[in-house]
Structure 1
């Protein structure tokens, strides 16, 4: 989890993974062919680096007079609220996100600060999240993607929204039981209000057909953030986002 007050531009490349059917593994007997294939993959990775989503990019801060004026006005407004004395970088981020519209930036920033206060984000301890973390549902990869961005893997097959027992084999699949669309809708607030323009891309890796109808319903709610979502195969992942050496272990097993 990134601390919004101090992290200026964390691009989290979130990957939803499932276990469904393992793709065929192709073996090439010739060492020369191996080297050739590796060279081709590396070349394609370099070529597609510029094609992968960079996320929704904030306007730059140039220090122009109108920007400085907007910052001063936002600081003045916050002084009369319970949320005064905020980090200047945070105020600039929300102003840039709202195209330096002070009223809109104040509204969005205040919503985020209220959320942080109500959830007591600053006082969250490891003990509060340890049980959930130990399920293995999510992990922060050691490897970065080809753009140098952090990668968060969400193992959707370990996420079950129901309380009832299910067959052991079903725990290894991505089904309607763990396609938690209410949770996905809540992500709208997370992406749009609480951490605006902090997300690089969301990849659903080999997601089955059962997810598509729900996504079609949810997509309009995400507005422009929907463009960050892409359905991909493991081959797409290796070709466009990682090299064979940096492909996360979760996907090497598929």
Structure 2
């Protein structure tokens, strides 16, 4: 389940930069902010438009939480698609259908028990210093073929869902820590990684704040070059760092993950 950093610049700073460099882009962005981000009435109108469009074009999709009438989910995808109703409906309809077909709501500790016992992926008990839930992956424990790929996929999605369930009020993104100590070429699994990155892009957009690749051995570099094109924009979230950096910069003394103490 390998992955990622560089924190994305804060939205306000980004717009300031654009406005300094080019008046035309700044004007376009400012209009977008006023009409879609700062105007509550317009938000509700956009949500209503998405709901209506989903109802007409994708009436077989389920209702309820994570369904075609889930306003919180709709708003998230509107933000992701820069408030384009058409684009939000396209991406959201695929996400809702995928959640239903994959059986995300049916995943449980029991359903992923066998794979989870490897401890190759787990959610840390504490938040990091920035208040983000932490998903930790021990890449050396992933052995392709040890389990059916669907079992690994279920573990991946369950852990993402679990991390998101720990989001404090006001927080929207999680931190992924990929421990590469002990990683060997036989741990590489391009097919599975493709699933992970597709899931993050299509079904959990903008939920990943940062990815730490910890103590990557020399043999991991060629693997990274292979998967980098697959991750697209997520490559900008990746930071290669040491276990010491993880311990000292991302956690308080009493919240450091056991493997990093």
What TM-score do you get using the length of structure 1 for normalisation?
A: 0.69
Please name the residue that 1:115 is paired with: 98
Deviations 1:188-237 (A, max 9, x none): 21111111111121111112111111211221222211111111101221
The question of 1:53 aligning with 2:53 is answered no
Aligned 1:221-232 pairs, distance under 5 A: 221-232=230-241
Higher RCO (CA < 8 A, seq sep 6+): 1
Please name the residue that 2:80 is paired with: 97
Aligned 1:167-206 pairs, distance under 5 A: 173-206=182-215
Partners of 1:52 and 1:240 within 8 A in 2: no
Q: Which structure dedicates a bigger proportion of its chain to helix?
A: 2
In our comparison, the structure showing a higher alpha carbon Rg is: 1
Unaligned runs of 5+ in 2: 12-32, 147-180
Partners of 1:139 and 1:152 within 8 A in 2: yes
Partners of 1:188 and 1:222 within 8 A in 2: yes
**For residues 107 and 162 of structure 1, what CA distance do their matches in structure 2 show?**
34
Please name the residue that 1:156 is paired with: 139
The question of 1:145 aligning with 2:99 is answered no
Matched residue SS, 2:112: helix
Pair 1:124–1:235, CA change in 2 (3 A): closer
Pair 1:205–1:15, CA change in 2 (3 A): farther
Deviations 1:95-129 (A, max 9, x none): 01100111111111111111111111122233321
Aligned residues: 198
Partners of 1:56 and 1:199 within 8 A in 2: no
Deviations 1:170-202 (A, max 9, x none): xx8311111222211212211111111111211
Partners of 1:201 and 1:228 within 8 A in 2: yes
**For residues 62 and 175 of structure 1, what CA distance do their matches in structure 2 show?**
49
State the Cα RMSD in Å. 2.9
Note the C-alpha offset of 1:67: 3.4
**For residues 232 and 61 of structure 1, what CA distance do their matches in structure 2 show?**
35
Matched residue SS, 2:187: coil
Deviations 1:79-108 (A, max 9, x none): 122225421111011001100111111111
**For residues 158 and 119 of structure 1, what CA distance do their matches in structure 2 show?**
25
Unaligned runs of 5+ in 1: 1-13, 17-50, 164-171
Partners of 2:2 and 2:193 within 8 A in 1: no
Pair 1:158–1:212, CA change in 2 (3 A): same
Please name the residue that 1:78 is paired with: 54
Deviations 1:3-28 (A, max 9, x none): xxxxxxxxxxx997xxxxxxxxxxxx
What TM-score do you get using the length of structure 2 for normalisation?
A: 0.67
**For residues 86 and 63 of structure 1, what CA distance do their matches in structure 2 show?**
21
Note the C-alpha offset of 1:154: 0.9
Please name the residue that 1:63 is paired with: 39
